[in-house]
Amino acid sequence: MTQNLNQIGLDKTASSDLADKLNELLANYQIFYMNARGFHWNIKGEKFFELHLKFEELYNDSLIKIDEIAERILTLGFTPLHTFGDYLELSKIKVSKNISSGTEAIQKILKGYEVLLPLERELLEMSGDSNDEGTNALMSDYIREQEKLIWMYSAYLNQ
């Protein structure tokens, strides 16, 4: 193994750039996750049962993705961010507080995807250019899933 390659045979510089961008995605996912948790806890109204379950699915899925992203950063040879201070500083997704309206919660979820999807597409391109199939496959899966969710949440809002 040459000095320019990390333990999995990828360029160290490219892997460092990928890890930085993955940490940015991780920070945004952590806030997205906490927001979804809050929506689940605080939802009220006519669609309570439906949305309470939907938000639980969303935060459970986000939790899995958070772990996958952190483990990918470790696989690349770097350290995932792991403090809420770091997440708050780096995240473009804003904290949502005391939201009990289903419509407002779903609008916030869609706003979150407006941050997550471009980051994932950027990572998809970066990982493709770096021959990093692991990160590439992860981002491809996330993008496909979220595009469908955006369609579904938008349909719920009649958009």
CA atoms within a 13 Å half-sphere pointing along the CA-CB vector of 111: 16
Give the domain ranges of the chain.
12-156
Q: How far is CA 143 from CA 77, 109, 126, in A?
A: 24, 15, 15
pLDDT at 114: 98
Q: Output the six-digit token pair for 14.
A: 């490219």
pTM of the predicted protein model:
0.96
CATH topology (fold) of 12-156: Ferritin (1.20.1260)
Q: Which residue has the tokens 């719920």?
A: 156
pLDDT at 2: 58
- Tens place of pLDDT per residue across the chain (159 aa): 458 999 999 999 999 999 999 999 999 999 999 999 999 999 999 999 999 999 999 999 999 999 999 999 999 999 999 999 999 999 999 999 999 999 999 999 999 999 999 999 999 999 999 999 999 999 999 999 999 999 999 999 997
pLDDT at 159: 75
pLDDT at 1: 47
- DSSP percent split of the chain into helix, strand, coil, nearest 5: 75, 0, 25
Q: Is 5 helix (H, G, I), strand (E, B) or coil?
A: strand
The span from the CA of 131 to the CA of 115, in Å, is 24
